[in-house]
A = this chain, B = another copy of it.
Amino acid sequence: MTAGSSIDPNHPAFAHIPVWVQEKLSPKAVQTIQKVHDWVENECIPAEPIVKAQIEQDKKTEWKTPKLITELREKAKKEGLFNLFLPKSFGHLSPGLTNLEYSCCADIMGKCYWAAQTMNCHAPDTGNMELLAKYCNEEQKKKWLQPLLNGETFSAYSMTEPDVASSDATNISCRVEQDPSDPNMLVINGRKLYGNCKWNAELGFYILMACSDSNNPNPWSRHTMVIVPKDTPGFRMVRNLTIMGYDHAPEGHGEYLYTNARVPKENIILGMGRAFEIAQGRLGPGRIHHCMRLLGQTERAYELALLRATDPAKKPRGKLIGAFDSNIERLAHIRMTLDSLRGVVLNAAHTMDVRGNKAGKYAIAQCKVLVPAQCAELIDECMQMYGGQGLTQHTPLPEMWTYARFVRIADGPDAAHRHQGEISRTLWEMGN
């Protein structure tokens, strides 16, 4: 049963959702989308300056989740706006939304950079929770997954390395090996980039991908995934990485050094040498959560551009900025392109719903190639309409652009994704 026909198309929560998607929304989804919309508009966006101030204040002593976000997480949990991303396979924990329905929610969440976090729907935790649910044994789930689902801790995913071309993951060189002095322990040595910031007081653990058997003739069996608790001795954060100058406190992005860091063998996920099996399984809807939220960020940028275009105080040459037909063309271009990108993302979500993640692989690659690069351009145009002010903290536009730019590289640079299609793979094999 769908609720498509009962939707008010002028309700702002649905204004940019294509008709074909509206038709597929369950009554539960319609209700959830409206709740997410109200949550973001009423609880999050107006609170942005407060959160920003709290982060700045916290940084002086300890990086931690701003108090307001923690409070909103409590509240969202009570209101049933928590873990919305969880598919039905999670049983009672799952709100029962399809990928398509969740995509509509995530899009709206994206309008405020940290809104997803208030609903425990933020990266990389959503992908990590799926991974842990799919590949951990029961004991591991109890220890690592449950606290994440409860919103009691945060997690990181650690794959990228500074010293090799880790976009091709077979190159990953950080070593995880049998501890010669203790049969129950592993020892880790190497250097990692990205993986959220250890300074974050709430961060609990890392899912690490490392090389366990570099001589294995099968390159897809050389690597292992293992859980590394944050306070593991020998595991040190060298610095917080800035992204285009932003420290992204308190989650941040770390640069890490492992020097004989030791973790128990029971922290291995699925088994030694099975990292690529897991990585393969992670290639589902979680790969486009960033793209979904980026649509919302771009939508917000468009709203800001529209505000500027109609601001009666801003009249170069005596006319509203939006009265220049060059700007009308720009705004139309942004509106139309953004909506076409939304179609690409929604189509990928639905393809995965109906045909499964594997069949959705091309559609995922299509998202990752088209969405971030084009959203970055669209946001850039919105920024330009604000003149000099647009580049400053007077607007959230620079952070939005930075997020789009980051997504163009997160989970692999766009050039790599152009090699994902069936045809591209065939051509590559023909030529190499």
Q: Interface residues, chain A, CB within 8 Å of chain B? A: 9, 18-21, 23-24, 160, 162-168, 171, 193-194, 239, 241-246, 253, 255, 306, 309-310, 313-317, 319-329, 331-333, 335-337, 339-341, 343-344, 347, 350-351, 354-355, 365-366, 369-370, 380, 384, 387-394, 398-399, 401-402, 405-406, 408-410, 413-416, 418-421, 423-424, 427-428, 430-432
Contact = CB atoms under 8 A, between A and B. Distances in A.
A5 B350 CA distance: 14
Contacts of A313: 163-165
B406 A391 contact: yes
A124 B420 CA distance: 40
A424 B341 contact: no
Given A370-B337, A415-B326, A389 B310 contact: no
A351 B18 contact: yes
Contact of A165 (B9, B341, B387): B387
Contact of A430 (B163, B253, B322, B415): B322
A103 to B, nearest CB: 12
Contacts of A329: 326, 415, 418-419
B402 A245 contact: yes
Contacts of A322: 427, 430-431
Specify how many copies of this chain sit in the oligomer: 4
Contacts of A388: 160, 193-194, 409-410
Nearest to A369: B336
Contacts of A405: 380, 391
A402 B391 CA distance: 9
24 contacts: A9-B355, A162-B389, A163-B313, A164-B315, A165-B313, A167-B316, A168-B315, A171-B316, A243-B391, A244-B244, A245-B398, A306-B423, A323-B427, A323-B428, A323-B431, A325-B326, A325-B419, A329-B419, A331-B427, A332-B420, A335-B423, A337-B370, A340-B343, A390-B409
A165 B325 contact: no
A306 B430 CA distance: 13
A38 B184 CA distance: 58
A253 B427 contact: no
A399 B245 contact: yes
A20 B332 contact: no
Contact of A336 (B325, B370, B399, B401): B370
Nearest to A393: B242
Given A242-B393, A245-B246, 19 more contacts: A19-B354, A160-B388, A164-B314, A168-B317, A239-B393, A242-B392, A243-B391, A253-B392, A320-B427, A320-B430, A323-B428, A325-B428, A326-B326, A331-B427, A332-B420, A332-B421, A340-B366, A343-B343, A388-B409
B20 A421 contact: no
A418 B341 contact: no
Contacts of A351: 18-19
A431 B343 contact: no
Which has the most chain B C-beta neighbours within 10 Å: A242, A329, A337, A394? A329
Contacts of A331: 423-424, 427
B421 A369 contact: no
Nearest to A168: B316
Contacts of A431: 319-320, 322-325
Contacts of A21: 20
